[in-house]
Amino acid sequence: MYFYDELSADADKYFKLGANVISIGKSGEGRDIICFEVKGRDGAIISTAGIHARECVSAYVVKRQLEYALAHRPSHTQYFIPLVNPDGAEIVKEGLRTGDRSKQLWKANAAGVDLNVNFDANWGTGSQNVFSSGGENYVGTKPFSERESRALAEFTKQCGAKLTLSYHTAGREFYWYFFQTEHYRRDSEIAAFIERSLKYRYKRIDGDCSSAGGYKDWCVQKLNIPSFTIELGNGRHPLDRGDIAEDIELNEKLPSRLEKYV
């Protein structure tokens, strides 16, 4: 698992290794949402993890991608945000300490809003949306009611992102479709490339329309950029680093391999 104290230590570590360290905003409880920048030409790729609290182990993929970018210097700027929801991750940490299973399975932020249904993209219409605060699926009082989702959206616009990757667990499958019309062909081609890059174990899911209000959904609908939600590993939540060891290797070079599409 990966929590805020480790992220804080990583901020120092990767700064010394040459990454620019940016806070894209504060969480509801005032923690920094830290982003690492490896500078290249315009047309950025953003890789994020941990928007769902119990899936914070996905940060290890983003860290590995950051290390790869630092060692190989990308041609386009790459941004890495390992822990979009640091407050939620603290709830999971507490659950692991006390054995409280509902906290171990927490997906939302500290206010009980599921950040990945809080974006302004067909908000509130998802098949699993709920309308009261809790550990998962609560959409919030309105789109972007939460500081974390606002910060991520603002940063994505402001940095001129051309492609985004969002890491979750579990299932070894990925999603890219959100009612694209004009860009359907472009995005399906990139999806096919990702499928080949991640090998046969990944199940590609087309035409999934049950989703709404997600970061990927918002990137596709409002920014018209290709955006992918990738589910790492298999097993019982919350997954441990060992459960995604192979996935870390498979995804290491993905942002760099995708540069040809930005």
Residue number closest to Zn ion, CB atom: 168
Cα separation, 177 vs 251, in Å, equals 20
Cα separation, 127 vs 211, in Å, equals 7
216 lies in the binding site for Zn ion (CB under 5 A): no
Q: Where are the alpha helices (DSSP H) in the chain?
A: 4-16, 59-72, 86-98, 101-104, 147-158, 184-197, 215-223, 245-251, 254-257
Cα separation, 234 vs 17, in Å, equals 32
Q: How far is the CB of 167 from Zn ion (least distance, A)?
A: 9
C-alpha 254: how far from chain center: 14
Judged by CB under 5 A, the chain residues 97 through 126 that form the site for Zn ion are none
Q: How far is the CB of 81 from Zn ion (least distance, A)?
A: 15
Q: What's the N-to-C CA distance of the chain in angstroms?
A: 32
Judged by CB under 5 A, the chain residues 161 through 200 that form the site for Zn ion are 168
12 by Cβ neighbours in 10 Å (0-12 / 13-18 / 19+) ranks as exposed
Q: How distant, in Å, are the alpha carbons of 85, 247, 258 from that of 233?
A: 20, 6, 21
Q: How far is the CB of 261 from Zn ion (least distance, A)?
A: 24
- Whether residue 77 contacts residue 44, with contact meaning beta carbons closer than 8 Å, is answered with yes
Q: Which stretch binds Zn ion (CB under 5 A): 48-56, 65-73, 135-143, 199-207?
A: 48-56
Q: How far is the CB of 78 from Zn ion (least distance, A)?
A: 22
Query: 170 vs 191, which CB is nearer to Zn ion?
Result: 170
| The Cα angle at residue 82 between residues 79 and 86, in degrees rounded to 5 | 130
Q: How far is the CB of 182 from Zn ion (least distance, A)?
A: 27
Q: How far is the CB of 35 from Zn ion (least distance, A)?
A: 19
Q: How far is the CB of 128 from Zn ion (least distance, A)?
A: 11
52 lies in the binding site for Zn ion (CB under 5 A): yes
Query: 137 vs 256, which CB is nearer to Zn ion?
Result: 137
Count the site residues for Zn ion by CB under 5 A.
3
Judged by CB under 5 A, the chain residues 218 through 247 that form the site for Zn ion are none
Annotate each residue in 71-100 with x if it binds Zn ion (CB under 5 A) or - if it does not, as one string.
Answer: ------------------------------
Query: 55 vs 87, which CB is nearer to Zn ion?
Result: 55
List CB contacts of 119: < 8 A, sequence separation 6 or more: 143, 144, 149, 153, 213, 214, 215, 217, 218
Query: Using CB under 5 A as the criterion, which residues of the chain lie in contact with Zn ion when the complex forms?
Result: 52, 55, 168
